[in-house]
Homo-oligomer: A and B are copies of this chain.
Amino acid sequence: MDRSNDGDFSRSNGADFLQLNAADVPAGGLADWLTDQVRTAISDGRLPIGSRLPATRQLATELRISRGVVTEAYQRLTEEGQVSGRGRAGTIVVAAPAVAPAARARSYEPPQMTAPGLDIFVELRAAPAHIDLTPGVPDLASFPRAAWLRSERAVLNDLEPAAFGYGDPSGTPALRRAVSAWLARYRGITAHPDEVIIVAGVSQAIALLAQFLTERGIGEVAVEDPGSLGSRQHLQEWQLRTPPIPVDSGGLQVDVLRKSGAPVVMVTPAHHFPTGVVLEGERRRDLLQWAAEGGLIFEDDYDAEHRYDRPPVPALRSMQAEQVLYAGSVSKLLAPALRIGWIVPPAQHRDDFIALKRRADLGNASLPQLTLAHLMESGELERQLRYVHRRHRTRRDALATAVATYLPTATIHGAAAGLHLTITFPPDIDDKALAAAALSKGIKVHPLSWHCQLPHAPGLVLGYAARTPTALTEAIQTIATLLTPSPTT
């Protein structure tokens, strides 16, 4: 502790390093015992390659045994090839740990398609499949690897060393500026960069909302029905109830929300998940009125940039700054694996959400934030969006054609935007069983009923963005064979 003690840097405590205790030294067989102890320390990694064994004199003193015993043990280990004497440099560990770490590995759990638990998406990802139509991802093969690296190099060339330290928990100023400009341009939202908080995707936004509400004694968030299973499960994991509010062809039935008495609602107004409905004008105004009367809206703007027919409708947040928590991310723009999103919380709760983000993880990593900001400000992200837009559209058309051709009884929903189609079937179909059967044929899809708490027509949610037209067609052909009773039965 004091200068004289720490100052000479030569103090060592070999027995302690080996976790040996003089009291544990046996009465006889000392050299065998010590050799075994050191061998174990090497094999289980406590004595790494290149490390030095304690000096023989020191270890002998600490263990209250004779120095000859220690020399003998070191000699045997040298002969075994595990250590090597290097004269005055001491005795060095040279062999790799001989024993593989033994531990209970996680076992593979097949997905519970008919009764999806909290692990369902992890299970589904782990399941082997030939064609993956899981919704929620853009064309991952189009990730702009070269542009990303170029942006990152440009960022690293200019970066102050202090930028590698702890940062602003609300996000780097550069990305908050870029997101502010992006939101103005694409989503009609005028938010100062200081009103933007960078988060680890919309999932973390949901986690922060849940904590915000729980601290205020609020125990429920109304959700759209149909509505994302993932979001609903996430709220439930945070011990929030999720009363369902029906969605029809005009979007959320705001009158039902009003009657429900729920204080908060989570909505996807620009492009409802999974049906693709746009919240119609009168309903928008009614929902904003509900918020003006004290309701809180969580606006999950999950894929608003992906419209094929016309510019997207502006975000609700552009109309109402006090009662709307806006959340977006790059998960559908670039890649979910980046884990970068943003929220624009109600102005009066901004500091609360910054504190929640700080408490969660001190803020997102800086380098990816700065790289993304560079991509946005250089126009690369817009170019990327235009590029994938064309690919996505071609794929959507291929999927719609395949459905019309091979699944004539199905109805297509939500084709005007997004990265997935929802199809519905006549009521006698069990969509969970169908999805399970599809998985057994190597095709991953979501049954629509996963995303419903209320009774709804059966269906499938089909992500098309990451698959080629050929694969999409093949997948639908396979699903069609599962719907057609085989001629022999």
Contact = CB atoms under 8 A, between A and B. Distances in A.
Interface of A: 1-3, 5-7, 9-13, 15-17, 19, 21, 41, 44-49, 51-52, 97, 101-106, 118, 121-122, 125, 132, 136-137, 140-141, 143, 145, 148-149, 152-153, 156, 159, 161-169, 180, 183-192, 194-195, 200-201, 203-204, 207, 234, 237-238, 248-249, 275-278, 280-281, 284-285, 308-311, 313-314, 318-319, 334-340, 347, 355, 358-368, 400, 411-416, 466
A21 B118 CA distance: 43
Copies, count: 2
Given A368-B365, A415-B3, A204 B314 contact: no
Contacts of A167: 336-337
A103 B337 contact: no
Given A367-B338, A368-B365, A411-B2, A192 B45 contact: no
Best-surrounded residue of A16, A97, A156 (most CB of chain B within 10 A):
A16
Contacts of A204: 360-362
A385 to B, nearest CB: 12
Contact of A164 (B97, B143, B188, B309): B143
Given A46-B318, A337-B163, A415-B6, A361 B359 contact: no
Contacts of A412: 2-3, 6-7
Contacts of A48: 184-186, 188, 311
Contacts of A163: 140, 337
Given A3-B411, A284-B16, A188 B46 contact: yes
A71 to B, nearest CB: 21
A96 B435 CA distance: 48
Nearest to A423: B3
Contacts of A12: 309-310
A183 B313 contact: no
Closest 10 CB pairs of A and B: A103-B192, A45-B184, A46-B188, A164-B335, A16-B281, A337-B366, A1-B249, A9-B309, A200-B361, A140-B161
A335 B237 contact: no
Contacts of A6: 276, 412-416
A365 B347 contact: no
Contacts of A162: 132, 140
A278 B1 CA distance: 9
